[in-house]
Chains A and B, each alone.
Chain A
Amino acid sequence: MISAIIIIGSLAAILGSLLGYAALKFKVEGDPLADKIDKLLPQTQCGQCTFPGCRPYAEAIAKGEADINQCPPGGEDTMQALAELLGVEPKPLGEEHASKPIPLVAVIDENICIGCTLCIKACPVDAIVGTSKLMHTVIESECTGCKLCLPPCPVDCISMEPQTIAPDTWKWPYPVYELHPTTPTLPVEQTT
């Protein structure tokens, strides 16, 4: 009886310490689920999900504090990908976000810009260059189209424009073909 208790007790102690050691040794830094979610988000850092950036939104989803349908720039595709990752039912996006979002890019009207640097401070990805009292401009390739530079501008010189489609950015469309009738027209019955 006592020997059994000793054996079980010592086994529990050994295994428990082993587990404890493993927990310390193989500790995962950060939140792996939040990382996975963050990978699926479009990284526009626009804050339209009500969180300050994509990473905080990913963390909120991981904790179950946010829904998967709060990312308008990601659209339907991102929502579907999140649903698949988390194993939950897809949720419809709001009416206004139902269609695939058109990629936008910020354009500064350089004739109006007064060089106040407010937009530079607002840009989440440092895509605006310029300095005080000198004209600013947007690095088109880095702009995520988040619209965060619009509200701080005191002279409203920034506008969002759809990305231009040139032959090198054009993409082959989904094939859509006209159908032609194959059956000859039925003979019309002569009524006399």
Chain B
Amino acid sequence: MSIWALPAGLKLADYHKTASSQHTTQTLIPQQGERFIIPLQQHTGTKPHLEVVVGQYVYKGQILARPQDKISAAIHASTSGVILAIEPHTIAHTSGLPDLCVVIEADGLEDWGNSRFPSLDYSHTDLATLVTRVRDCGVVGLGGAVFPTDIKLNVPQPIPTLILNGAECEPYITCDDRLMQEHADEIVAGAKIIMHMLQAQVCKIGIEDNKPAAIAVMQQAVETAQLPSIEVVTIPTIYPSGAKKQLTYILTGKEVPSGGRGGDAGALCVNVGTARAVYQAVVKGEPLISRYVTISGDAIKQAGNFDVPFGLPIQRLVDAAQGATVTNPVLSMGGSMMPLPLHSSTTPVVKATNCVLVRTPPKPETIMPCIRCGHCAEVCPVNLLPQQLYWHARAKDLEQTERYHLFDCIECGCCSYVCPSHIPLVDYYRFAKAEIKTQRETRQKAEIARSRHEFRQERLERAQREKAEKLTKHKTTLQDSAAQTSSTSPEMDAKKAAIQAALERAKAKKAQQAATETSPIPENKA
């Protein structure tokens, strides 16, 4: 089995993985009276449509919001209890802005009611049913991108290769490592289901060589399942080999074209956690309501992994890890290369939370001017020119950034990591990307407004035209009828004669009356 080397990347010295990977994963069990804050937006795409009301009792696994639009995901209750409120709450987002959340007070019973779906025998089920099941269970990519999995698996043409992503290349994170060690059989079963859905011939499970235990367990699981089409591939530890396009290249030697999707290279990349979630959805009929989360960092007492139901505040996780060693730790989500700062410890754990870092406040780095050393270009795994992108993004020359393939940037942070001037390069790329997207949206909106305005103008004109036409039509019919009356017909003549006669009679009567009135009066007076 040959593997292809990434053109660049980082051999990081400090992985910080040993602290958290040693212990078995503990499950956080909801206590009675504990509050779950479940955000409606936990995935890429449209916000799902809310299906519950305040005061309602919900079972564990009951649907809270149903997907609307194509790219959307369902949200389920992660525990049983009463809905206390549906209100905005701080979520794990860079902006720190609040978003709509369902607040559930747990009753501690963990009552599933009849929320579980019936088990499906995937080999005798058609693709549409399986896709619907994955969608109903709210399965999204658990590697970090949280893209709805049903969209990914609903492909018209067969995809020959399935890639299971167990690389976990970012420092600190060990949740996939633990998951592979503890649930290898479920991951392999999930891979079988996905292979069936994609009509894939082979499946390659890519795992970095710094996880020997996980590799051994996964190989064992594949052997016991007796599946020659599934292969565990050990890959060198290089950041960012866990990014989907990079892993696809490492395992198949095929590059995903610029702007293309994973399937375009004939291989689809799915995280190991997602594969397990697919297994749970199809075979167990359980929606995605919890995940493995790593808690680590230099300011946590007991780093480790926890199986956390979604909606529990980060603070609960910190407490479960025996708390922080400093009073004001800096909290962030994800690994240290692409961290997402958390603004509050009450932020809930969501589908995207693979890792929570608790660290001592860093010493502020002085940002110095770019000296064009070119280090960033040497480490860029996508072969971009980060320096050029930086200059153009900084000058807000968006056209140029697009010419330098800004949208192929995977925001891995390698360039910022090696920059001797400590320039936060990725922030500039994110700014430029957001700006370009806004401009596109504005243009699109203007286009819609123009067509609506033109339609309205046309409608008004048409109405006026129709009114004018109606008027002329009415006039002509009137004229016609007038012309008809003037042309003599026997009926009309009779009518006319009758009217004439009546008029004459009336005239005669009036004259007679006048005559009788005038003559007798003087007589009476006399």
Contact = CB atoms under 8 A, between A and B. Distances in A.
Contact of A178 (B41, B94, B95, B364): B364
B450 A54 contact: yes
B449 A177 contact: no
Interface residues of A, number: 30
A44 B449 contact: yes
Contacts, number: 75
Contacts of A54: 450, 453
A170 interface: yes
A38 interface: yes
Contacts of B453: 43, 45, 53-55, 124-125
Contact of B93 (A124, A170, A174): A170
Interface stretch (B232-240, B293-301, B427-435): B427-435
Contact of B433 (A127, A172, A173): A172
Contacts of A168: 41, 47, 99
A77 to B, nearest CB: 9
A53 B431 CA distance: 33
Contacts of A142: 448-449, 452
A151 to B, nearest CB: 18
Contacts of B435: 171
Interface in A128-147: 142, 144
Nearest to B90: A167
A167 B97 contact: yes
A164 B218 CA distance: 48
Contacts of A124: 453, 456
A171 B438 contact: yes
B15 interface: no
10 contacts: A43-B445, A43-B447, A43-B450, A125-B449, A166-B99, A172-B94, A172-B430, A174-B396, A177-B367, A182-B366
Given A170-B97, A172-B427, A175-B431, 6 more contacts: A45-B449, A45-B453, A125-B452, A126-B452, A168-B41, A168-B99
Interface of B: 41, 47, 91, 93-95, 97, 99, 364, 366-367, 396, 424, 427-428, 430-431, 433-435, 437-438, 442, 445-450, 452-456
**7 closest residue pairs by CB, A with B:** A43-B446, A172-B434, A43-B449, A125-B452, A170-B95, A175-B427, A172-B430
